[in-house]
A and B are shown apart, each in its own frame.
Chain A
Amino acid sequence: MPETIDQYQEGKRDVTFRVFRFNPQVDSKPYFDDYTISAERGITVLRSLNYIKEHVDASLSFRAFCQAGICGSCGMRVNGISKLACTSQVWDELDKCREPGIIKVEPLRSLPMIKDLIVDMDPLVDKMKHYSNWIETTMPLAEIGKKEFLVSEKEFHRYDKATDCILCASCVSECSILRANKEYVSPAVLLKSYRMNVDSRDGIHDVRLSELVKDHGVWDCTHCYRCQESCVKSIPIMEAIHAIREDAIECRGPKDTSGAKHAEAFMEDIEKKGKLVEATLPIRTNGMVWTLRNLLPMAMKMIVKRRTPPPPPLVKSAKGIKVFRAMFREMTEHVKQDHLKSHKK
């Protein structure tokens, strides 16, 4: 587009920031304010907000500290995506606007609002405490400070990426489960829990794990991958979540919780038929009593609407099931071998 190139050469573009405003002292509900400024190439969203605060509207409130992408203060939603304002380039954002030339700036979701772009981080800190997001050292008290644990570079790499987390809460804001259930552990806390659980210096792996497998814990994740996609440090958060689940099944067995049973039932169906036997899935996950008590009304409705899944004997194996089973076994064998190699402590 030639006009874009011309604008680039000029080095300045008019940009409108449409910013979420809410002051609980005076506003009954939130609204948006538009601020139009001229932004040169290379300017970040945070620097633009600073400019607006200094020159246009001093009451505009947001957090910012290091301004270099390491402290995690300025997490907010820019054009609908949770990220750090300090590492987001205005000109990049201009390509993502729903309305041309208008960058929408909103607070993070799933955390209580305080004012404008500022949300309350306390719920996240409370969850870090609840899930023991710390190392409880196995070094005897009298020995502390006297010698190092010997830790391989390989072990370090197991949690290296996870310790990049700056608790900016972008993943918290993007998580689809949290939006439905505020009590859900949240991706950042799962990541931190994983980081602690694979650290050989830690002595409360089992305690942490027993908390993680409870309600609102690791089994509630639906693999939407939003956390990982939005992570400002490109941390593979879903890998950590999967690792906690695998660890849970390995340490606590496949019949431990409904989450584990659900995963096991999935595996069983896929191996046998290459697809799910949905009719019995709730029973195998949560048992007959729970299913009758909780799902019977819905089952009746489904019958009326003729939406019931076929009964198990009628679920035919998928096409090419034999080849698929061979592949499936090979994969599970691989996973087992990898486990033996890397996850055994």
Chain B
Amino acid sequence: MKPFDIVIVGGGGAGLYAAMEAMKTNPSLNIAVLSKVYPNRSHTSAAQGGANAALGNTAKDDTIEMHIFDTIKGSDYLADQDAVDVLCSEAPKIIRELENIGTPWSRLEDNTIAQRPFGGAGRPRCCYCADKTGHTILQTLYEQCLRKGVIFFNEYFALKLSVNGSRSRGLLAMNMKTGKVEAFPAKTVIFATGGYAKMYWNRSSNAAGNTGDGQAIAYRAGIPMKDMEFVQFHPTGLRKSGLLVTEGARGEGGFLINKDGERFMARYAKEKMELGPRDLVSRSIETEILEGRGFDSPAGKYIHLDLTHLGADLIKARLPQIREMSLNFEGVDPIEEPIPVRPTAHYSMGGIDTDNFGRTIMEGVYAAGECACVSVHGANRLGGNSLLDILVFGRIAGRTAAEEAGKFEPGTISEAELKDSVDDLRSRMQPSGHYERYGALREELGQTLALNVGIFREASLVKKGINDISELQDRFKKVRVFDSSDVFNTNLMQVLELQNMLDLAETVAAGALAREESRGSHTRIDFPVRDDEKWHKHTLATRINGKISAGEKPVTMGRYELQERTY
């Protein structure tokens, strides 16, 4: 195949924005977007609430500065302040740009983009399109990429980076339609593959495919992962499926109620109540449940998200998707009864370590979006900042790669390397003797993570988690792929996804054990307070000779000094 200037892995918000921006930066470049699903299926579509930008439409006195402060405070001071500066300063521009190229938005009376309150934000600055903001943004970006003639390789599953010393030569990927492994020699590769929270499996709100493919590929290639222990639990997942009820439901005035009928958030965040930051609300719900004030059911313990007082009109107009989901997956109509919810693994703050331009330590390899850790979210991401992150840093990564592609020689991928990759896949399809089922391993991984590396963590628990993960990695070697077909072998794909989750799970657990403090989403029962002296720093996990190796990186400070985080 002809060498590409840029190969973008992932067709969600970050990948598509990167593609658009790279084409704009240098129209003569040869750019490809690989995606394991049709791009319009990407998980960006599931973001319901909106994207933060200090447009000052709803609250005239909102400022970029306030957005910066809220984000840094929300991150429990672990975000790099220069990166947050970029995120928030670019926000109004990028939301207007999206608006200009056709994204539909709900509107205010003065015909400007509507904004609503969101957790952890001092002003209503979350720009929204009903409760389908991610969906409409993704559609717009896909439409614009089709308009500009971006070359898509849809339903290609990325396998590995081809590495030559300190730089990449390109990528190997499996064409799902044919089962063939194809080489994508490229000057630059941008990973934009989304998050890894699906490793919590049934206790995750994520799509089945959010298996951290990009991070796992980079990790195996020796690129460091940063702050992997920080996994955000969204306070309100549906009890049975873990699927998400947007924070918008609380933004619109929903109450959290325990079995004694109390609005218990009064105990934990007197002022902000239900609109406290996500980590705090999740811990509060979990505490209520652990202390016996939750409801019980065969499908697990839960509390109530009550929207009934909002009235049918408001629910139908502003939260139609929530209503549909409650009806479909819980059989509950939120107009008439409260929705049963409990926290669900939702977002990965950690990811591929990048600088503010999307660069990794490997020459020619970039990352953006949930797949990357710049870091703008630190120990806890604010609602409405994830869509913003993928847009802002997707665009920056696209621009940087386009500007820097010229510096690199076009890579070549040898026939031998291609053959190795094919042989590796083939060997999985013919293990002999005793075998394991990938479905069982996947569920066990989710369980051990939720129990031992979940909302509340403790040294002994996390150690057990690490042991379990290591056992699962051993058992994985015996997993058999039963489907022998080359055409659309989803059995093989799911096994490879499991491998990616297992590889990354060890970095999440290692970070959780190492970080002996409680900060943001990471809560250690044995170290209940934030320890700035020892732990005001990023953790790094790098794979060296097949073994995980721990490192660290200082936090970039700026105008804001460390403060206690209270709401």
Interface residues of A (CB under 8 A from B): 23-26, 42, 44, 53-55, 57-59, 61-73, 87, 89, 114-116, 118, 121-122, 125, 128-129, 132-137, 139, 143-153, 156, 159-160, 163-164, 166-167, 196, 199, 201-202
Contact = CB atoms under 8 A, between A and B. Distances in A.
B437 A54 contact: yes
Given A71-B207, A145-B94, A25 B107 contact: no
10 closest Cβ pairs, A-B complex: A135-B102, A54-B439, A134-B143, A58-B482, A59-B483, A150-B111, A145-B97, A66-B207, A134-B147, A71-B41
Contact of B132 (A87, A125, A147, A163): A163
6 contacts: A25-B486, A67-B243, A72-B40, A115-B485, A133-B143, A153-B106
Interface string B107-148: 111111100000000000000011010011001100110110
Given A53-B490, A67-B208, 19 more contacts: A23-B487, A25-B485, A25-B487, A61-B491, A68-B243, A70-B46, A70-B135, A71-B46, A72-B41, A87-B328, A114-B488, A134-B147, A135-B101, A144-B96, A145-B93, A146-B93, A146-B96, A148-B99, A166-B135
A143 B135 CA distance: 25
A30 to B, nearest CB: 14
Interface in B1-28: none
Contacts of B99: 148-149
Given A25-B485, A114-B177, A125-B38, A164 B132 contact: yes
A160 B130 contact: yes
A136 B207 contact: no
Given A62-B490, A68-B325, A156-B106, A148 B243 contact: no
Contacts of B485: 23, 25-26, 59, 61, 115
Contacts of A116: 488
Nearest to A24: B487
B37 interface: yes
B40 A150 contact: no
A144 B102 CA distance: 11
Nearest to B480: A58
Given A66-B46, A164-B132, A137 B101 contact: yes
Main secondary structure of the interface of A (DSSP, over half): loop
B481 interface: yes
B368 to A, nearest CB: 19
A87 B325 CA distance: 8
Q: Indicate the size class of the contact surface on chain B.
A: 35 or more
Interface of B: 37-38, 40-43, 45-46, 55, 93-94, 96-97, 99-102, 104-113, 129-130, 132, 135-136, 139-140, 143-144, 146-147, 154, 177, 207-209, 240-241, 243-244, 321, 324-325, 328-331, 437-440, 481-491
A96 to B, nearest CB: 16
Nearest to B205: A68
Contacts of A164: 132
A151 to B, nearest CB: 6
Given A58-B491, A144-B101, A153-B106, A70 B143 contact: no
A135 to B, nearest CB: 3
A150 B100 CA distance: 10
Contacts of B143: 128, 133-135
Contacts of B100: 137, 139, 143-145, 148-149, 201
B353 to A, nearest CB: 27
B96 A134 contact: no
Contact of B96 (A121, A148, A153): A148
A253 B446 CA distance: 62
Contacts of B106: 153, 156
A35 B484 CA distance: 20
B325 A202 contact: no
A190 B465 CA distance: 52
A145 B208 CA distance: 35
A70 B97 CA distance: 25
Contacts of B104: 156, 159-160, 163, 199
